[in-house]
Structure 1
């Protein structure tokens, strides 16, 4: 058996038959309603938005003028002078009364009269010892600080004491100044009294 392939009609494939069927269908002329309604709605909404913001402006004035029923004479309004943006605000008024009360207030201080008349001379005692050698030792420490001290012997009901004394100073302030020097040198026991 011999087959004649030359005179035979070619078979059409499945893909080719579908495409030929689709091409044979009539084209439909449907109008796409949903996309067009969406576009019309968006354009209308945008137009309404523009119309709504048209009446408002940056300084709060409306472009729409209200209708007046009665004719009123127009009055010229003079614009207020422009304020300097760098100008300071006016000084506020004070509401306090204590300032006036303090200016008129008088303070009275009672100073008790102790009957002691100051000679004006002060002394500074930095130590009091039973042994003279201890007093001389402190006197030497004070000499190394650049000041001159004296050792005074005093007798009382408690016995004999040797006091290390600096001075006399003309004012208590001068004595305080020397006491600070002693504190810087490590001697913190100094007291300032009137010279006697």
Structure 2
């Protein structure tokens, strides 16, 4: 089978069923062109006249506004306005009673005294395997203004070093110290009853 070369073959001729447009006579075309150019020449002059008329009208409008604005600014204040200002009553002086009554005022509050018990509170914050870790925790607690102790204890698991605070007379004092230590991220403290 032979291959066909479609590119070199070119296009097939097409039949043209359309009729060619009729040619117009040259005389009419030239006459129409002369009329168009005369209209085009008068059009820029018309535009220029309209723009100038609008510009002059705008300037006149601005001039009329300027005169009316100057009249409003220059007009003196009428005497009616001044009379209305004088008709207002004078402001009374305010008297505050609490200024006089506060210096001699005392508040009495009944505070129930806490019952003192024989029990004392101690707070254990940590328990470490090495003494150096316990000393480090003791230093952190000392920076908060609290005094702690390191107590060694020996048990079934070996030797431990406990960091304790106290003794505190009331549980409220122990809670206050516990909240102080929470500010520096020491949240492992526990309050217990201990006998010294």
The TM-score, its normalising length taken from structure 2, stands at 0.39
| Larger radius of gyration between Structure 1 and Structure 2 | 1
The TM-score, its normalising length taken from structure 1, stands at 0.39
Looking at secondary structure, tell me which structure has more helix per residue: 2
